[in-house]
Amino acid sequence: MKKLSFLLCVCLCLSATALEISEVHEKVIENTVKHYSSILKQDFTVNINCPQIFGLINGMLFAQAKAAGAPANVPIPSISYVRRTHKASKNQDKYDIGWGRKLPKEMLAQAQDKIDSQLDAFGEMCSALTLDGLKEIAELASDNTCKLLQENPNQFVVTISGLDEEFTEGVKVIGANICFNKRFNTVDFVSLKLLGGKNIDITINHQKINGDNGNKYGAVPVRIVIKNNLQKQVGGMAIPPQLNFNLGNYNFASRGDMGM
């Protein structure tokens, strides 16, 4: 309840008196950027589930199959997860579907172009809204003048105004409130003010993980809840007003200790 109350304060304190941040706050912000950067410098795989997006893709594939003359009893496809394979050494990401239930083989082949385009759109969204996006959010605080809005023993909130940053294609950020975790060097919550009166609120839950041979990867995001009023389409899909990303089964290649 304390954490929820604090995050509510993040949203309400836009009109509060802002204070100068200290060197301690600056160090946490710097370490948060380093933390997310360190993760993205590793080769890893992670399973990502987003029921809202998967439901849209499943619906598109089913409608396409029916339009192509599929029998009445054709199963509605279901996606259990998408596996992201991140190759830092090649600056490359690949996304593969983990099916819960597939369309019949011949219909799946006919729908492959649609599947590929939706995967590309999903990958773009994942980059903007998960690990890569969290790193860019932390960099907003590192690269711009911040004011301190709120603080408790575990977290603090900074506000940034006068921004002119593109968060993703066609989405421009003009201000932000960002909640940093002092202990884990992570972003716990962010409220982005967008051009045109739109906004994105993101709540992030992290979990510490260790790899083989004692390698330490620190806290990684395992659940990201995104609320928005964008009314925007990505890859032909309208972004729902709330997205729930669940990230699990992280598997890192052993490329050294990430501890700072």
Say how far apart CA 58 and CA 77 lie, in whole Å.
6
Say how far apart CA 163 and CA 151 lie, in whole Å.
23
Q: Residue ranges of the chain with pLDDT lower than 50?
A: 1-2, 4-6, 8, 10-15, 213-214, 255-260
pLDDT of the residue at 237:
66
Fill in the DSSP letter of residue 154: S
pLDDT of the residue at 179:
97
pLDDT of the residue at 16:
52
pLDDT of the residue at 123:
84
Q: What would the DSSP string read from start to end of 74-102?
A: PPPPEEEEEEEEEEGGGTEEEEEEEEEEP
Say how far apart CA 117 and CA 129 lie, in whole Å.
18
Say how far apart CA 237 and CA 239 lie, in whole Å.
6
pLDDT of the residue at 212:
55
Q: What is the tens place of the pLDDT at every residue in 173-216?
A: 999 999 999 999 999 999 999 988 889 999 999 998 875 544 56
pLDDT of the residue at 151:
94
pLDDT of the residue at 13:
47
Domain positions in the chain: 2-12+31-252
pTM over 0.85: no
pLDDT of the residue at 256:
44
Say how far apart CA 65 and CA 253 lie, in whole Å.
39
Q: What share of the chain is helix, strand, coil (3-state, %, to 5)?
A: 35, 40, 25
pLDDT of the residue at 254:
60
